[in-house]
Structure 1
Amino acid sequence: MDAFKNPSSTASDIAHFIQLYSSPTILSIILSAVVVVAVLSLHTSQHQSSLKIPPGNLGFPLIGETRQFLKALRSETPQQFFDERVKKFGPVFKTSITGHPTVVLCGPAGNRLILSNEGKLVQMSWPDSFMKLFGKDSIGAKSGEEHRILRSALARFLGPQALQRYMPKMSLEIQRHINEKWVGETQVKMLPLLRELVFAIATTLFIDLRDESVRRRFYHLLETVLLGVMSIPLDFPGTRYRRACEARAEIDEILYSLIENRRAMLSSGMVSSDDDLLSVLITFKDERGNSFTEKEILDNFHGILHASYETTVSTLSLLFKLLSSNPECYEKVVQEQMGILSIKGDGEDISWKDLKEMKYTWQAIQETMRLIPPGFGTFRKAITDIHYEGYIIPKGWKLLWTSYSTNVKEEYFSEPEKFMPSRFADEGRNVAPYTFIPFAAGLRICPGWEFSKTEILLFVHHFVKTFSSFTAIDPNEKVSADPFPPLPRNGFPVKLFPRS
């Protein structure tokens, strides 16, 4: 899988775009679009002029401050985008990201307002460019009753009862991958191997895809889509965003074929309705007996695939990077895992109950997500004028809460730059509400967070069982995102020491 190369950077996309579209005709089209935006802005200015809108800078028409936002996410200090504006404007400020005027609320109070008022003051509303790739019929785009029905369907696959049922298959996939790709190697790059593993688990448990050539093509297309999600949304030939749209369309063609084949297998009784995510989506019926359309199946498959893939890869690779720099913490993880292994019989696999005993390991995972969040936050849309901190956020504007406004702030976490898993002891009771919310909260809490937790804990268990220790080749390897999630820049090469 690591043989695939990433598409060119956004900088080259922009250069290519300028070269291709510098003709007077194209420039006039772009200028016309800017004029249209200006006219629409004037149309609403009378209403907004009477409102005390939060201070800030909307940037250039159409583009806004998207370039600065993406540049920050790609840097080693992504929080700088928010910190600079908080210092200048305060914890409530306006900006414009991916073509939408957006108010950013920083701090626990802002997080609470956005995450606890779904359907009352706000509703989930990712930028249009996101949803073109994730799918407008996915759970991330739905609200109200439609959102409730989708959560009910996905719980059949992502809920605790379902997890216990197919956890042995996940465990077997992880052990097989370690035996085939890691054992016997004195040095590996963890990041590409973890990408391959997480993708293999997804294709096995989500769609039971076994054709190796199709899997390799699927993998390449998935990576292409992910690179385009947070690119500047220029939908022109040669740009990263256009390549992502084309990759999404090709993935859909593969899935259409799989859906047709799966329907036939379900009808013949060759598979059951809960064998994998695809079967669950195909067979689900709501209280009125309505099934999902093919587009709803496709879009929700994409939504769960993206959410489970990129954030899990990020957290896993950064967990081991941080543990390599904090050997005393890694030793505690090892002791916990070996304690679980010591009471297992020969050939006895890990159980759901064993996962519940991995308390310190889970604390280390949480501390990783606090120090280096796998996501910057999520967007909402105001469904009414919102009064907050003396300002009014106009109806229709985007809102954004961000983990960067709390996770590494001294007012919420002592010694915030230090890797200290014990701060999450006692089930995190000492962590103030709405200061650490890696999976969001409220009605929109990530439906797959327990799936991701199970996957990471199982990998740590099998890694410790197989290797006595590891060391980073470059302890000072930088972490950056393109533009998210954050990842070790050079693939995190390590030396492996097998357990005798």
Structure 2
Amino acid sequence: MVSFDLLYSNLIFYFLFSAIASIQMIMQQSDMELLLLSFLLLMALSLSFWIRFFVHKLEKSSGINLPPGKMGFPFIGESLEFLRMGRKGTPERFIQDRMAKYSTQIFKTCLLGEPTAVVCGAAGNKLLFSNENKLVTSWWPRSVEKIFPSSLQTSTKEESMKTRKLLPAFLKPEALQKYVGIMDSIAKWHLDNHWDLNETVTVFPLAKQYTFMVACRLFLSIDDPKHIAKFANPFHILAAGVMSIPINFPGTPFNRAIKAADSVRKELRAIIKQRKIQVLAGKSSSSKHDILSHMLTTTDENGQFLNEMDIADKILGLLIGGHDTASAVITFIIKYLAELPQVYNEVLKEQMEVAAGKKSGEMLDWEDIQKMKYSWNVANEVMRLAPPLQGSFREAITDFTYAGFSIPKGWKLYWSTNATHKNPDYFPDPEKFDPSRFEGNGPIPYTYVPFGGGPRMCPGKEYARLEILVFIHNVVRRFSWYKLHPNEDVIVDPMPMPAKGLPIRLRHH
């Protein structure tokens, strides 16, 4: 039975994207080409229907007690509804509606062409976070695998272990302390050059500029704005397309992402080569004790150094992770502070108290960050309501049972932040903005999961905290603001973002 499920999953996945690609091409072709592509699309639809029908009969006759739910349309499953809810800014509706209809613990669906069990609630999160490489392992869409080809040379488990061994020296709190002042200087420069001279700004693209500059400085010791700008544009294209539908035709987001990845990787390899020469010659300055230098001088368990392609891909992944999440959180903090003046005033009060303890021109330090308790509670509440990570997939590596239902080997499992973040059982009056939820012991374990959990919890959590708080410290002391579009929509694709980028009008203090 499991083998048929996997056959169905793989075949359907490719039929889905072939069909979508055909639709896109049909809109641009001549009558003859249109007829041919329409025929191919009809064949793909017909074949996928019969595959789905055949697998459904096998599933029904097998007697496996699968979770309740429905697999949706042939070959596309419920992917369109899943994406539609995100584009409407209500990704939680997909989860909540099915929890109400089928089960508050688990339901089945079909996402990205894969039969998927969606686990819900704190117990479901604990199941996945506590059984990494026992019952489940991480799973990424094919788009990620194609953009990061070097990761295919090793197993997911081995790749993750190798990468995480390289990070602790830089991403643990005690190591990040020395970076606070650098982040502070970058935030000041950014506001001086992109905010101070303007009456209106669009927050989301500027937040991305800030977080990208911080990542370039701390990961690669690049601080020249012109050098950063050289590969900022292709990087943004890559970040936008890394989770897109993997249709590799000219003009598609995925095709643009592959080309952008090649461009960024080429720039990174040039930086790596230059740094390698400096390291071998003993000319790398002490200020360049960054992640790149660490990767160049660290060996694996077999005494082997990472090759340049591996380093480029790992740096690329870190840049994406250190860029998208924090920029989304900063944007939504600005949004909520505009909507909630009483919260803004409390944040400003706290940050002015921090600034009062500094000498003129003195940079922020680690002790200052620890005083920003209310500001971080505000950031946590923002991440509860607008989590930058909507959820993540795992793959079952063995048959197992959960909540009385069978999960076959090879099935994908999905956990969602929205299954708990907006659940009134865990967060009373869940739509209310209330930073006090994070005072004292905070939320119940496994209910607040903006950074994931278990062995795969985001290793950059503390890095993101510093980056966010440093920016908020600087921006609230310079400005107040109001939204130019009070009812601006929010879309989630796959991260939340204001539909117009959050344009605001600034008021200088």
Give secondary structure in 1 for the equivalent of 2:401: strand
Does the 8 A contact of 1:386 with 1:394 survive in 2? yes
TM-score (norm 2): 0.87
User: Residues 101-131 of structure 1: CA distance to partner in whole angstroms, max 9, x if unpaired?
Assistant: 1111111111111111101111111122233
Change (3 A) 1:217 1:26: farther
CA distance in 2, matches of 1:138, 1:275: 29
Shift, 1:303, TM fit: 1.7
5 Å matches for 1:191-206? Answer: 191-206=204-219
Shift, 1:233, TM fit: 2.4
Give secondary structure in 1 for the equivalent of 2:443: coil
Give secondary structure in 1 for the equivalent of 2:167: helix
Does the 8 A contact of 1:59 with 1:96 survive in 2? yes
CA distance in 2, matches of 1:39, 1:493: 48
Q: Which residue in the other structure is 2:418 paired with?
A: 404
Unaligned runs of 5+ in 2: 1-19
Shift, 1:37, TM fit: 10
Comparing 165-174 with 102-111, greater Cα deviation is found at: 165-174
Does the 8 A contact of 1:366 with 1:421 survive in 2? yes
Change (3 A) 1:497 1:28: closer
CA distance in 2, matches of 1:134, 1:203: 19
Report the number of matched residues: 484
Change (3 A) 1:254 1:475: same
Specify which of 4, 7, 16 is matched with residue 24 of structure 2: 16
Shift, 1:191, TM fit: 1.9
Shift, 1:43, TM fit: 8.4
Specify which of 156, 170, 190 is matched with residue 183 of structure 2: 170
CA distance in 2, matches of 1:217, 1:229: 20
Change (3 A) 1:80 1:318: same
CA distance in 1, matches of 2:487, 2:59: 52
Specify which of 362, 371, 389 is matched with residue 385 of structure 2: 371
Comparing 258-267 with 208-217, greater Cα deviation is found at: 208-217
Does the 8 A contact of 1:124 with 1:141 survive in 2? no
Q: Which residue in the other structure is 2:500 paired with?
A: 490
Give secondary structure in 2 for the equivalent of 1:378: strand
Q: Which residue in the other structure is 1:232 paired with?
A: 245
Change (3 A) 1:454 1:37: farther
Q: Which residue in the other structure is 2:280 paired with?
A: 267
Partner amino acid, structure 2, of 1:195: K
Specify which of 449, 458, 483 is matched with residue 472 of structure 1: 483
Change (3 A) 1:387 1:34: farther
Q: Which residue in the other structure is 2:234 paired with?
A: 221
Q: Which residue in the other structure is 2:429 paired with?
A: 415
User: Residues 360-392 of structure 1: CA distance to partner in whole angstroms, max 9, x if unpaired?
Assistant: 000000000001111210111101112011110
* Bigger helix share: 2
Partner amino acid, structure 1, of 2:485: D
Give secondary structure in 2 for the equivalent of 1:487: strand
Comparing 44-53 with 212-221, greater Cα deviation is found at: 44-53
Give secondary structure in 2 for the equivalent of 1:278: helix
Shift, 1:156, TM fit: 2.0
Give secondary structure in 2 for the equivalent of 1:381: strand
Q: Which residue in the other structure is 2:199 paired with?
A: 186
* 1:346 aligns to 2:346 (yes or no): no
Does the 8 A contact of 2:79 with 2:112 survive in 1? yes
TM-score (norm 1): 0.88
CA distance in 2, matches of 1:45, 1:124: 29
CA distance in 2, matches of 1:421, 1:58: 38
Partner amino acid, structure 2, of 1:315: V
Partner amino acid, structure 2, of 1:478: D
Shift, 1:229, TM fit: 2.9
Comparing 33-42 with 182-191, greater Cα deviation is found at: 33-42
Specify which of 447, 459, 465 is matched with residue 435 of structure 1: 447
Q: Which residue in the other structure is 1:315 paired with?
A: 329
Q: Which residue in the other structure is 2:167 paired with?
A: 154
Unaligned runs of 5+ in 1: 1-11
RMSD: 2.9
Give secondary structure in 2 for the equivalent of 1:137: helix
Change (3 A) 1:352 1:299: same
CA distance in 1, matches of 2:354, 2:273: 43
Does the 8 A contact of 1:225 with 1:244 survive in 2? yes
Q: Which residue in the other structure is 1:450 paired with?
A: 462
User: Residues 287-306 of structure 1: CA distance to partner in whole angstroms, max 9, x if unpaired?
Assistant: 44222233321222122111
CA distance in 2, matches of 1:320, 1:14: 41
CA distance in 1, matches of 2:25, 2:98: 30
Sequence identity percentage: 37
CA distance in 2, matches of 1:139, 1:435: 35
CA distance in 1, matches of 2:84, 2:153: 28
5 Å matches for 1:25-40? Answer: 28=40, 31=43, 35=47
Give secondary structure in 2 for the equivalent of 1:79: helix
Give secondary structure in 2 for the equivalent of 1:263: helix
Does the 8 A contact of 1:16 with 1:239 survive in 2? no
CA distance in 1, matches of 2:38, 2:305: 44
Specify which of 119, 123, 133 is matched with residue 105 of structure 1: 119
CA distance in 1, matches of 2:445, 2:350: 28
Q: Which residue in the other structure is 1:4 paired with?
A: none
